[in-house]
Amino acid sequence: MPFQYIMMTFRTKFKGRIGRAYILYTKDIMVKEDVMHSPLYMTMRKEGGDNMTEMEFHQETVALDEEAKALVIIDQTKLPGRIEMLSLTKVEDVWEAIYQLKVRGAPAIGVAAAIGIYVAAVRFGNDGIAGTDVAMFQSRFRRAKEYLETSRPTAVNLFWALNRMEGVVTGYEGDSVAVLLRLLHDEAVKIHDEDVEVCRKIGEHALTLVRPGDGLLTHCNAGRLAAVKYGTATAPMYLGQERGYRFRIYADETRPLLQGARLTAFELQAAGMDVTLVCDGMSSALMQKGLVDAVFVGCDRVAANGDVANKIGTSVVACVAKQYGVPVYVCAPTSTIDMAIKSGTDIPIEERAGEEVTEMWYRERMAPEGVKVWNPCFDVTSHELIAGIVTENGIVRAPYEKSLPTVCS
């Protein structure tokens, strides 16, 4: 097959205009006839020229297709080679998309779960007895929620978002499934919209910690691909870019699933930033050379004492940074703070298949058959290594037991 193509049929916004079709490619561009002649496509093509990467990338990471009542995501397992959108309506498909990291990153997982459970609820609200009987609807909703909660264990945003959605169902005392669905819709949209605002505020606070021209190191992808827009650790980078700060950004490749190489390098480059990709083991050499002024990372869960779970390898970067006196800042929406967990040792850490280490992303298997593999997906960085936690409500510093409650309202 000379080209692969996907045609989108959901409503999309480009520079304030609403269109109904989308085309996705970084390399071979092939567009369906009917799309090619649409005024929206013409505008897009004119803006983007032949290389559509930047222009295509106005697409949101996670969105609700109002018309099709579907969760729309960028399939992140296909990046950076292909920008492919998925439109999901079944709860099983939402579960699988989260589990397989088609949508990943703590805030994006939360938003996807909220929209995902809403679109699933629309389906069962449209059929059989659950379409008319509120009690039956509520029971099916709770089953779907419990199921989605099993998709990934570490990012607390998943549970936070699903609990918010369940709060709507629990709080409803009326007898109309249609009204309840409307309330669920509004809550899902709110969770989505809040994420944009929260990340922007994190960016504003984080920007006060750096100067134009600084070298910034980041690990994994806590970028716009991990949220709706801006990302968390990348929020100061996007805002700095808007304001001409000209940061030098270093992205760790992030073994084993290469979120740094595939996603962070891709999205920052697409945004026109000065980004350099480095292997995970290179952070010490970078800091030794004085090239890093600050480390910004995201996180999946913050414990009450300020310990932080983030992508495996984060704690290595933090230990190295301490050696060279480089501050490590963790960017975290308050939805990522879990005051019920006392310290990092209590945070559940996901373990994933060994094949992610031995085979995935390699053309050929890169380890002997049958070798034992340990593949924890996250590690815990001690609060002692963290210079500050940047939330949408401000920056907090040690002692975190005292400072974190001041930002968690």
Judge whether 175 counts as a catalytic residue: no
Distance between CA 393 and CA 94 in Å, rounded? 31
Residue 31 binding ligand MRU, by CB under 6 A: no
Q: Which of 54, 59, 106, 110 is nearest to 85 (CA)?
A: 59
Task: Kindly report the backbone phi and psi dihedral angles of residue 26, in degrees, each rounded to the nearest multiple of 5, phi listed first.
Answer: -105, -25
- 301-320 residues near ligand MRU, rule: CB under 6 A: 310-311
Amino acid 25 reads Y
Residue 104 binding ligand MRU, by CB under 6 A: yes
Among 210, 220, 228, 287, indicate the residue that binds ligand MRU (CB under 6 A): 220
CB of 169 to ligand MRU, least distance (A): 27
On the question of a cis peptide bond just before residue 39, with omega within 30 degrees of 0, the verdict is no
Among 7-15, 17-25, 103-111, 400-408, the segment contacting ligand MRU (CB under 6 A): 103-111
- 149-208 residues near ligand MRU, rule: CB under 6 A: 155
Residue 300 binding ligand MRU, by CB under 6 A: yes
CB of 332 to ligand MRU, least distance (A): 8
Q: What is the bridge-based pairing of β-strands 394-396 and 388-391?
A: antiparallel
Residue 300 near residue 106, CB atoms below 8 Å: yes
Q: Is 151 helix (H, G, I), strand (E, B) or coil?
A: coil
Residue 73 binding ligand MRU, by CB under 6 A: no
Q: Is 358 helix (H, G, I), strand (E, B) or coil?
A: helix
Residue 236 binding ligand MRU, by CB under 6 A: no
- The strand pairing partners of 218, in sequence order, are 251
Distance between CA 407 and CA 396 in Å, rounded? 8
Among 61, 138, 151, 259, indicate the residue that binds ligand MRU (CB under 6 A): 259
Instruction: Spot the catalytic one: 300, 307, 338, 379.
Output: 300
- In this complex, which beta carbon is closest to ligand MRU, that of residue 19 or of residue 105? 105
Q: Which of 314, 323, 334 is nearest to 396 (CA)?
A: 334
Among 12, 59, 138, 232, indicate the residue that binds ligand MRU (CB under 6 A): 232
Residue 222 binding ligand MRU, by CB under 6 A: yes
CB of 231 to ligand MRU, least distance (A): 6
Residue 377 binding ligand MRU, by CB under 6 A: yes
Residue 228 binding ligand MRU, by CB under 6 A: no
Q: Which of 181, 195, 184, 263 is nearest to 235 (CA)?
A: 195
Distance between CA 338 and CA 396 in Å, rounded? 15
User: Distance from CA of residue 296 to its chain's centroid?
Assistant: 15
Residue 70 binding ligand MRU, by CB under 6 A: no
- In this complex, which beta carbon is closest to ligand MRU, that of residue 104 or of residue 192? 104
Distance between CA 81 and CA 386 in Å, rounded? 35
Residue 69 binding ligand MRU, by CB under 6 A: no
Residue 106 binding ligand MRU, by CB under 6 A: yes
Residue 227 binding ligand MRU, by CB under 6 A: yes
Among 161-169, 200-208, 224-232, 272-280, the segment contacting ligand MRU (CB under 6 A): 224-232
Q: Which of 239, 222, 216 is nearest to 308 (CA)?
A: 222
Residue 391 binding ligand MRU, by CB under 6 A: no
**Cα pseudo-dihedral 56, 62, 66, 67, rounded to 10:** 50
Residue 260 near residue 219, CB atoms below 8 Å: yes
Which residues of the chain form contacts with ligand MRU (CB under 6 A)? 101, 104-107, 155, 220, 222, 226-227, 231-232, 259, 298-300, 310-311, 377
Active site residues: 300
